[in-house]
Structure 1
Amino acid sequence: MKRDDTSMLARPQSVFGGLAATGLAPLRHMQLGDGMALTLWERDTEGLEIAYSQPGHHTLAYYLKSGRGTRRLDGASALQDEEICSLPYDHASRWLVRGRLRFLHLYFKPELLERRATLELDRDARLVRLDDRSHAPGGELQRLCGRLAVLPWQGADAPMQANELAHETLSCLLRAQGEAADVRLRGGLQPAVRRRVRDYIEAHLHGALTLGMLADVACMSEYHFLRMFRASFGLPPHAWIAARRIDRARQLLRSTDLPLQRIADDCGYATLSHFSHSFRSALGCAPSRFRAQLP
């Protein structure tokens, strides 16, 4: 899997690091690629305090068993079985844990939610936030978390299955978030320009895209466009384009029988070797393996 998935959790202030610092070892852990990781935890204790402070990544927590009176020490009510909590990358919280807990954590980078918002909601990345909140049991989000909890953890196919389901879960979570109405946007691309640039990239993924081309579409200098693109999309142009090429390749692998060379060409990769290397770096498996594992 991508090395940055591991480094995301290696920081001492990460949620994973905060739990590990208490002596807790995960029952299961899986790197999913695309800046995501999945961990199943279990603990039985008479009383333990756990603190998180600006972990640097988002966390979606699904409590299969919530213990006895487990709660946040900020006045919140006790957790319920099958409750879901979303914890943003910059949040701080202290928890009192009692009884037997069994919970699933999906860790993911903030830019994943920002990129989805730009593509799925046509929203400036800066207007997207992950709410620090609890989600009551019931509904589509719980159904998806429940499916994540029972996925197989072993076998060559497991990471890909979990990756696909995790992406679906993040789309559902995104739709449950509010817009960050208190954010005053300074700089960045105007909505019409943002859409024009986004659509141009989508229509030309098969070709060689340059900063100059995109700046021309936006009618800006390369210098100003680079800063404004990063502000509105949450990523620099080269990283956005690389991610969209991987997304396009996955779509074609799922929905067509096109040869790998044709997919590489349609997604803008100079060679089949470059395509295979980029795909493996993003998802942890070769394109041929990805296609073979599809149901």
Structure 2
Amino acid sequence: MTALDQLQVFQSMHASPHARLELSAQLGDGMAAALWSNRHDARDYEAPSHHTLSCYIADGTGTFRRERPGTKGAPDKLCIMPAGCVSNWIVNGSIRLAHLYISEEQFALGCVTLLDREPRELQLREADFIEDPQQARRFHQLIGLNWAEPGERLLTSSLAHEILSHAILGQVGQREGLRLKGGLAAHQRRQLADYIDCHLEQSIGLGELAGLCNLSEYHFARMFRESFGLPPHQYLLARRLAKARQLLSGSDLALGEVALMCGFASASHFSNRFRQAVGATPGAYRVALQGSMAVQPLAPRG
């Protein structure tokens, strides 16, 4: 989980004498959120290592990109600032806006599970002041929750997943000037993804996965990371946690059963891993989400 003080866009806002942080929270799964108020300011974001999705909650009609002064914001307008992009902003008058910060690893998972594509092939398309009522509604719901209360913070995390999935499905394009080297063949990547999802309840070793591709463990681990955007153990854990979230929200299975079905050695190991990733125990997650909000399902790949 990335600390807020390591997020460049967050830190640029926090360093401003004009901006005021109203709310902030770590949401688990490589995501964080913040609600800001700002007035008469200039902010520069220098190629951050994370993605930022923003929604103008109120005002913002005097906000624009320095190089495009004729195009201005407005309430419910959304901006997409991908990792690695430089952007320079002028704020004339007042603005209130929400930010959702997303790690490269979480974006990579979405590319693999939602689009069945290699993350290195794709990029989140930069966009200013787009209209998307469904996304704007999610942002308004998100800031309406009490992020300091554990149960409502879990609901916030669920909404953040929905916002990210929507952006990946609608705002991702082919990376320009792409020349891929190394990595796994497309059929190998699909075979591995299917195999992992079909055997989550079992112990899956690196050698077992490497054997499916007839590669040494060393070369397999390197090529897996090229094609999946994260190492094998991290991808496997993410898929196990995704299945656990699905089972916790959609079934009444005992926590021990959920742990075994998702490949965790024990209920305590499951609880520790889940809490590290999500910020709450599996039991607290179930209480917060079951019957209150549909959790993002185990993502398809096709």
Per the normalisation by structure 2, the TM-score is 0.90
Kindly provide the CA deviation profile for residues 70-113 of structure 1, in whole angstroms up to 9, marking residues without a partner as x: 11111251112211001112111111111111000001101211
Aligned-residue offset at 1:182: 2.8
Counterpart residue type for residue 238 of structure 1: H
Tell me, what secondary structure is at the counterpart of 2:123?
coil
Shift of 1:127: 1.5
Distance in 2 between the 1:68 and 1:270 partners? 54
Over residues 33-66 of structure 1, what are the superposed CA-to-partner deviations in whole Å (9 max), with x where a residue is unaligned? 111111110123xx32111102211100101224
- Contact 1:196–1:218 under 8 Å retained in 2: no
Distance 2:129 2:72 in 1: 13
Distance in 2 (CA, whole Å) between partners of 1:42 and 1:279 is: 33
Q: Pick the aligned partner of 2:180 from 178, 185, 189.
A: 185
For residues 236 and 139 of structure 1, what CA distance do their matches in structure 2 show? Answer: 36
Residue 137 in 1 paired to residue 134 in 2? no
1:161 aligns with 2:155: yes
Name 2:299's counterpart in structure 1.
Answer: none
Return 5+ residue gaps in structure 2 as ranges: 293-302
- Pairing partner for 2:94 from 96, 100, 106: 100
2:62–2:94 Cα contact (<8 Å) kept:
no
The match for 2:267 is 272
Contact kept in structure 2, 1:114 and 1:233, CA below 8 Å:
yes
Q: 1:282 aligns with which of 277, 284, 302?
A: 277
Deviation at 1:128, TM superposition (A): 2.1
Over residues 205-241 of structure 1, what are the superposed CA-to-partner deviations in whole Å (9 max), with x where a residue is unaligned? Answer: 1111111100111122212211110001000001111
> What is aligned with 1:228?
223
Which protein is richer in strand relative to its size?
A: 2
5+ long unaligned stretches in structure 1: none
1:148 shift after superposition: 2.0
Residues 78 and 132, structure 2, Cα contact 8 Å, conserved in 1: no
Is 1:123 aligned to 2:117, yes or no?
Answer: yes
Identity of aligned residues (%): 38
Judged with a 3 Å threshold, the aligned counterparts in structure 2 of structure 1 residues 135 and 78 are, in CA distance, closer, same or farther, namely closer
**Cα distance in 1, alignment partners of residues 133 and 20 from structure 2:** 30
SS at 2:125's partner residue?
A: coil
Contact 2:56 2:97 in 1 (8 A): yes
Instruction: Please report the TM-score for the alignment, with normalisation by the length of structure 1.
Output: 0.93
Matching of residue 73 in structure 1 with residue 73 in structure 2:
no
Q: Could you say which residue in structure 2 is the equivalent of 1:82?
A: 76
| 1:258-269 pair list within 5 angstroms | 258-269=253-264
For 2:43, give the aligned amino acid: I
Name 2:141's counterpart in structure 1: 147
